[in-house]
Amino acid sequence: MAQHLVTFHLDDPALGGHAPRPPAHVPTGTLLTEAARASGVEIVQPCGGQGRCGRCAVHITNGEVRRRSTLRLSAEDVAAGYALACQSVVEGDVSVTVPPQEKIERRLTTDRVVAEVEVPIGYDARAMQTIQRVSLALTPPSLEDQTDDWSRLVTALRQQAGVEEVDVSLALLRRLGGILRDANWDVTAILDTHYAPRTTLLDLRPGEPPLFGLAIDIGTTTVSCWLIDVISGQVLAQAAEYNGQIARGEDVISRIIYASQNGRGAEMQTLVIETVNSLLAAACEKAKVDPQDIFKATIAGNSTMMHLLLDIPASSIRLAPFVTAINHVPPLRAIDLGLKINPEAAIDCLPGVASYVGADVTAGVLSSGMGDGEQLTLFMDVGTNGEIVLGNRDWLVTCACSAGPAFEGAGVVNGMRATRGAIEEVWINGDTLEPTYRVIGNAKPRGICGSGLIALLSEMFLAGVLDKGGNLNSSLMLEEDDLHFVTQRPAAAGGAVRGRTRRVRPGEHGPEYVVAWANETWHGQDIVITHVDADNLLRAKAAIYAGYTVLAERVGVPLESVERFLIGGSFGKYLNVEKAVQIGLLPDMPWGQFQFLGNTSVKGAYLALLNRSERERITQIAARMTYIELSADNTFYDAFTSALFLPHTDLARFPTVAEALTKS
Amino acid sequence: MAQHLVTFHLDDPALGGHAPRPPAHVPTGTLLTEAARASGVEIVQPCGGQGRCGRCAVHITNGEVRRRSTLRLSAEDVAAGYALACQSVVEGDVSVTVPPQEKIERRLTTDRVVAEVEVPIGYDARAMQTIQRVSLALTPPSLEDQTDDWSRLVTALRQQAGVEEVDVSLALLRRLGGILRDANWDVTAILDTHYAPRTTLLDLRPGEPPLFGLAIDIGTTTVSCWLIDVISGQVLAQAAEYNGQIARGEDVISRIIYASQNGRGAEMQTLVIETVNSLLAAACEKAKVDPQDIFKATIAGNSTMMHLLLDIPASSIRLAPFVTAINHVPPLRAIDLGLKINPEAAIDCLPGVASYVGADVTAGVLSSGMGDGEQLTLFMDVGTNGEIVLGNRDWLVTCACSAGPAFEGAGVVNGMRATRGAIEEVWINGDTLEPTYRVIGNAKPRGICGSGLIALLSEMFLAGVLDKGGNLNSSLMLEEDDLHFVTQRPAAAGGAVRGRTRRVRPGEHGPEYVVAWANETWHGQDIVITHVDADNLLRAKAAIYAGYTVLAERVGVPLESVERFLIGGSFGKYLNVEKAVQIGLLPDMPWGQFQFLGNTSVKGAYLALLNRSERERITQIAARMTYIELSADNTFYDAFTSALFLPHTDLARFPTVAEALTKS
């Protein structure tokens, strides 16, 4: 097949303008995104390479490509040489300039603080933990007793520890003789007793080795990892980071489409495994733990993330009738997935319920405790998807809606995770339209996290910067003579001028509001919220609001009768309820009924990791939950459309907000 | 580290003398054997690279090497530039000539005939076989039934086949959704029920797939493989071949030493797996079977072979107190070993008893039936090792002795396996000393197999070509005037001249006897038996004779009270009892008490493959056998030394032979 030379230039100011990359030699028919990767250039594909989002547009400066689709490009763009990298095919030598890539990348690897996680009261590793260590004293072999090493060990396990049935891997068998002799026949066996009486030997060590475990939540946007001492139950370190798959699609649908192409399932798996490996390495370093001493990992995550983690085809999840390949994953070993912990470590993937209600929700329900009491409880897990569970200890119904990653700081120009440098709270002066903000860690701001975005939306709305429809009020922009006025009176530069403000200004994608000026920020660039950002946030909150209201309607429970409103998700902890009600994300209920639980998914994984009964309860929860398919009729769509306003088309649903609007 | 240039020349007449090989660049300290391998030259190391056998001697024609040992070389050899490749280290540029390599290599891949193996009477795959196929009709998913694929299958297995507990590999889970949809939800599940109620799903297929299995015997010298239709029980094809490890040591001790060096365990595993893969590929091709339809392999072999197959360190086998790492190997999958059959196929390694009584013997005892009746039976499995079992259904004792590979045709200059072209029977005219021989397949002879070697030894002894001590009678060699006589009278060239014969002549390693002249043979070269060959054969038979006599003595049972004498091993089937008694390999008992069973090990594997009860009986046999360590005192050595004669030091033990000697 003919080979072509493809040369990429990065249009990156940080690299001094057009930085050339080593050219790639590729055969006819290669996608530009693939050619770019061959040149070491990663072009983000938020829609998963479907040609839908238009964000992989590149500039063909020399030669020509075949455009399979130009959906998001205007005729002028195409005439000027622009092409969608995910939809353009190399058919000759070509030079390509890649515009600055939207940064959906790692910012920080640890959360703002190590949340204080309390070890469950009465935790008793010997009684509750599936990973056990057993000290054994073996009689060395002799000419009188030529029993083989493995039988000798199995007999000792039976006689000294009451273990009747032991599985072992070939890899560990290979090491057996050496370990026994090096330890002079006094060893500690590390056992996985999850499937007792069937037991698995995970390792053999001299002395009394420590035992560690990992609780992991694989989110579409964010992956969280806790390192746990399974003897004491204590959380030793926590780490979180964007999922390495994020540049291959921002939502689960885009990821499924991307992964379903030939060979990309393995690529997606590698990306998320690399994320988990880097997180666990960071956690181990912090806590000074040897990853080889980690013998168990309990994993939660939505169904798509679980399939992609295991490289199990996920296409059936997005196509009617929307079924997963598997909800209850059999026991695995770390080596099956390439996790860099003890290769024999037990990998326990928690069970999900349906395509869009996965193990993140079952784990969340467990850790929320909503299935234990009589109170009618609504539990929401807000991540890239919003999953909602309604019920109590007698019944549980659940549904899901696609919120997008906006509240996790992705898909928003200056969005970021709730880590050091994130603006987490904003107030806007109604007169001057000047903002005040609070930054995590009291650092110079680097971006805005979910709670900051909600606050910002609410404040902009109440100050009149945003209208009810979520549009930036462009009449607030300075006009030419205002600029003159400002130049003459520098002291007034920060404030509103004749009812207008330079905070509102035209940007690349329509009007934008400047939250922080370049001279205040960590990176020396303005931090803004754009019209597109506001629209994304509005759609996210509308999807969630529509989700829980429709769910309550379906089961005939008025929203008012809900006694507790539990909120999980990474932003949950830092959220200002008042502001979340003001934008219509949360219903207008007494604030005391809301409770923020943080990452309920990883917490559920933690509880299941520690205690076999809690693990069993997650299976029971999964069995008890009734899934309701929102896509079955138009009710959800109607509710979503009505919620695409601040706070809602029907202001009567938000009496306290109506009151605040009157005052402001 | 300094790099050196090592150039090898092969002194191979077939290549027209000195054939140069591409030179190798190796660092200081590289062994010549390693450097040779880097040049694509394999130097045989029958002793496993210990410097004991001297058969890897090479000629250094330029430059110098450091000789760590010159044990088998004379001072003259060393002065002339000879060095042991396994003991010489490169420290500078060097040129090496490699003498013609003794050919211990593959000759033929199939046995003389497909032995007629009868399917056990009453074989019923549904009742006896652990591999089962189950047709399932699944209801396709719908919006009303969004059950995940795996749960749907598990439910069908429970409801339609009564299967309660199913394991599955991640690899098969990945293929699940595609298979179910391609098959339109009508599939046949292939299950491994060996550990029922715990069941493993091996594959899913549309229609009614065939099910095949392999019975494999890994011998030190020869690997045998039977391909079996597990539904009918029929053996479809058989194949056998030298074990690919043979150039790394001819006996188990040499192999263990070789394998214990860094990284060589994996090399040894690869070699034997390659042998098995080539055998099964040949069997599949012959029977027109797709290897992906093979779902089970039952493997027998001695303990060392089993360890090397699994790459489990075997060093403890050869060092006091002589224990194995494992006798009862846990269930494995084909993919664990790299067998090129269905990757999920169940691999069942049969259980052994001790370091030198392995699964080949337990399988052999099963297939011999000696453990079933009351008759006192002696069972011998003669391979590279000789294992002996004595007893009946009430008790079983066992021991092992090292016979070497001579009876398998290896370690003998013109030895070969009992395949087409092998001389399997020889008669020598006592007057002319001219031989007559029978060749397997009525082909031109290529070499001599075990039964031929025994016949040859016996005939040479009775004709006076060999003396009682196994020495070739050099007084039979032609002298100078005989040669003149022969030249003058060509018609007499084949016969004895003045009581002498040109059949006996000086060879490279002392005197040799010519069995077939070059013009009669397949390869156009003389087929001979050398003094060294005769010595190897004598040592082999002495070890076996000493083994069973000492075993009988130890348990206080006179050899005469043995009612049946069962002989397993690859030569067994074609052996002439009279001649085996004449050389003192078998005791001088009524011939009717001997029974030749052929390869009892692979036959036992076959029975265990078919029937779960037979498999269970092998475990019971292993538990019942009492191992007796012959090395514990000098009795064995004394018996061995006494047996190093034809037929024995004590001719009174062999009355029929004494009689024959009187006649001849």
Q: For residue range A247-305, what is the model confidence (pLDDT) as tens digits?
A: 898 889 999 999 998 889 999 999 999 999 999 999 999 999 999 999 999 999 999 99
- Contact assessment for residue A216 and residue A601, using Cβ atoms and an 8 Å cutoff: no
- Contact assessment for residue B380 and residue B608, using Cβ atoms and an 8 Å cutoff: no
The pLDDT of residue B70? 79
Smallest Cα–Cα separation from B127: which of B231, B12, B247, B19? B231
Low-confidence winner among A133-147, A620-634, B167-181, B536-550 (lowest mean pLDDT): A620-634
pLDDT band at B409 (very low <50, low <70, confident <90, very high): confident
Smallest Cα–Cα separation from A408: which of A598, A571, A247? A571
Q: Read off the pLDDT of each residue in A603-629 and give the average, rounded to a whole number.
A: 96
With a pLDDT cut of 70, the percent of chain A lying above it is 92
Q: Is A273 on the interface with B (CB under 8 A)?
A: no
Phi, psi at residue B522, to the nearest 5°? -65, -40
What is the rounded CA–CA span in Å between residue B376 and residue B555? 12
Low-confidence winner among A150-159, B36-45, B172-181, B491-500 (lowest mean pLDDT): B491-500
* Best-predicted range by mean pLDDT (A351-365, A624-638, B85-99): A351-365
Within 18-57 of A, beta carbons closer than 8 Å to B belong to: none
- Packing angle of the helix pair B359-368, B303-310 (nearest 10 deg): 130
The pLDDT of residue B571? 59
Closest partner residue to A170 (CB to CB) among B145, B316, B332 is B332
Cβ–Cβ below 8 Å for A336 and B146: no
pLDDT at A458 over 90: yes
The pLDDT of residue B533? 92
The pLDDT of residue A114? 42
Cβ–Cβ below 8 Å for B326 and A176: yes
Closest partner residue to A148 (CB to CB) among B315, B327, B330 is B327
Kindly report, residue by residue over B565-611, the tens digit of the pLDDT.
Answer: 999 886 556 678 889 999 999 999 998 899 888 889 999 999 999 99
- Packing angle of the helix pair B531-554, B450-462 (nearest 10 deg): 100
Pull the structure tokens for residue B313: 């360190």
- Contact assessment for residue B99 and residue B58, using Cβ atoms and an 8 Å cutoff: yes
Cβ–Cβ below 8 Å for B149 and A316: yes
Kindly report, residue by residue over A489-512, the tens digit of the pLDDT.
Answer: 444 445 556 678 899 999 877 899
What is the rounded CA–CA span in Å between residue B45 and residue A210? 46
- Contact assessment for residue A66 and residue A58, using Cβ atoms and an 8 Å cutoff: no
The pLDDT of residue A105? 35
Question: With 0-12 CB in 10 A as exposed, 13-18 as middle and 19+ as buried, what is B593?
Answer: middle
The pLDDT of residue A492? 44
pLDDT band at B13 (very low <50, low <70, confident <90, very high): low
Smallest Cα–Cα separation from B204: which of B103, B151, B276, B135? B135
The pLDDT of residue A108? 35
Q: Is B146 on the interface with A (CB under 8 A)?
A: yes
Cβ–Cβ below 8 Å for A310 and B174: yes
Smallest Cα–Cα separation from B545: which of B603, B587, B590, B494? B587
CA-based R_g, chain A, Å: 28
The pLDDT of residue A494? 52
- Whole-prediction pTM: 0.84
With a pLDDT cut of 90, the percent of chain A lying above it is 64
What is the rounded CA–CA span in Å between residue B657 and residue A90? 87
Q: Read off the pLDDT of each residue in A61-83 and give the average, rounded to a whole number.
A: 85
pLDDT at A110 over 50: no
Cβ–Cβ below 8 Å for A170 and B310: yes
Q: Is B106 on the interface with A (CB under 8 A)?
A: no
**Average pLDDT of chain A to the nearest whole number:** 89
What is the rounded CA–CA span in Å between residue B193 and residue B126? 11
Type and span of the H or E element at A519: none
Kindly report, residue by residue over B99-145, the tens digit of the pLDDT.
Answer: 876 443 333 333 433 456 899 999 999 999 999 999 999 999 998 89
**DSSP-based three-state secondary structure for A150:** helix
Q: How many CB pairs under 8 A join A and B?
A: 125
The pLDDT of residue A77? 83
The pLDDT of residue B497? 61
Q: In Å, how far is A334's CA from the nearest CA of chain B? A: 12
Kindly report, residue by residue over A582-601, the tens digit of the pLDDT.
Answer: 999 999 999 889 988 888 99
Closest partner residue to B146 (CB to CB) among A310, A315, A321 is A321
Closest residue in chain A to residue B317, using alpha carbons only: A148
The pLDDT of residue B483? 63
Within 152-181 of B, beta carbons closer than 8 Å to A belong to: 167-168, 170, 173-174, 176-178
Q: CA quadruple B604, B605, B611, B615: dihedral positive or negative?
A: positive
What is the rounded CA–CA span in Å between residue B59 and residue B97? 5
Within 540-559 of B, beta carbons closer than 8 Å to A belong to: none
Tokens 């660039």 map to which residue? Answer: A525
First to last CA, chain A: 68
The pLDDT of residue B664? 64
Count of CB atoms situated within 10 Å of the CB of B504: 23
The pLDDT of residue B75? 81
The pLDDT of residue B108? 35
With a pLDDT cut of 70, the percent of chain B lying above it is 92
pLDDT at A218 over 70: yes
Pull the structure tokens for residue B218: 């890994």
- Burial pattern A118-147, b for ≥16 Cβ within 10 A else e, equals eeeeebebeebbbbbbbebebeebeeeebb
pLDDT at B72 over 80: no
Question: Which spans in A162-263 are helix H?
Answer: 170-182, 252-259
**DSSP-based three-state secondary structure for B243:** coil
Looking at per-residue confidence, does B112 or A128 come out higher? A128
CA of residue A244 relative to chain centroid, distance: 10
**Average pLDDT of chain B to the nearest whole number:** 89
Contacts of the segment A658-662: beta carbons below 8 A, 24+ positions apart: A660/A462, A660/A582, A661/A462
Within 607-646 of B, beta carbons closer than 8 Å to A belong to: 627, 629, 632
Low-confidence winner among A38-52, A170-184, A439-453, A500-514 (lowest mean pLDDT): A38-52
The pLDDT of residue B572? 53
Strands A385-391 and A594-598: unpaired
What is the rounded CA–CA span in Å between residue A422 and residue A437? 10
CA of residue A664 relative to chain centroid, distance: 36
Q: Give the contacts of A251 (CB within 8 A, at least 6 positions apart).
A: A220, A384, A385, A402, A404, A405
Kindly report, residue by residue over B501-530, the tens digit of the pLDDT.
Answer: 899 999 887 899 999 999 999 999 999 999
Cβ–Cβ below 8 Å for B174 and A141: no
Count of CB atoms situated within 10 Å of the CB of B167: 15
Q: Read off the pLDDT of each residue in A545-553 and give the average, rounded to a whole number.
A: 93
What is the rounded CA–CA span in Å between residue A142 and residue A139? 9
Count of CB atoms situated within 10 Å of the CB of B448: 30
The pLDDT of residue A17? 59
- Contact assessment for residue B213 and residue B194, using Cβ atoms and an 8 Å cutoff: no
Pull the structure tokens for residue B145: 């039934």
One-letter identity of residue A193: T
Strands B131-137 and B82-84: unpaired
Q: Read off the pLDDT of each residue in A368-384 and give the average, rounded to a whole number.
A: 91
Kindly report, residue by residue over B288-347, the tens digit of the pLDDT.
Answer: 999 999 999 999 999 999 999 999 999 999 998 999 999 999 999 999 999 999 999 999
DSSP for A267-279, written as a single string? HHHHHHHHHHHHH
One-letter identity of residue A580: A
The pLDDT of residue B510? 84
The pLDDT of residue B104? 37
The pLDDT of residue B18? 67
Q: Read off the pLDDT of each residue in A63-85 and give the average, rounded to a whole number.
A: 85
Kindly report, residue by residue over A459-493, the tens digit of the pLDDT.
Answer: 999 999 999 999 999 888 887 666 665 555 444 44
pLDDT band at A109 (very low <50, low <70, confident <90, very high): very low
Whether ipTM > 0.90 holds is no
The pLDDT of residue A508? 79
Closest partner residue to A151 (CB to CB) among B141, B145, B327 is B327
Beta strands in B403-467 (DSSP E): 422-428, 435-439, 447-448
What is the rounded CA–CA span in Å between residue A361 and residue B636? 72
The length of chain B, given as a count of residues: 664
Q: Read off the pLDDT of each residue in A115-134 and give the average, rounded to a whole number.
A: 91
**DSSP-based three-state secondary structure for A154:** helix
Strands A82-84 and A57-62: antiparallel
The pLDDT of residue A111? 40
pLDDT band at B491 (very low <50, low <70, confident <90, very high): very low
Contacts of A323 in chain B (CB under 8 A): 141, 146-149
What is the rounded CA–CA span in Å between residue B210 and residue B133? 9
Pull the structure tokens for residue A599: 């990452």
What is the rounded CA–CA span in Å between residue A83 and residue A69? 9
In DSSP terms, A200 is beta-bridged to A167, A192
CA of residue B11 relative to chain centroid, distance: 29
Kindly report, residue by residue over B222-270, the tens digit of the pLDDT.
Answer: 999 999 999 999 999 999 998 999 889 888 999 999 999 888 999 999 9
Closest residue in chain B to residue A632, using alpha carbons only: B143
- Contact assessment for residue A396 and residue A390, using Cβ atoms and an 8 Å cutoff: yes
- Greatest pairwise CA separation for chain B in angstroms: 104
Q: Is B323 on the interface with A (CB under 8 A)?
A: yes
Q: In Å, how far is B354's CA from the nearest CA of chain A? A: 7
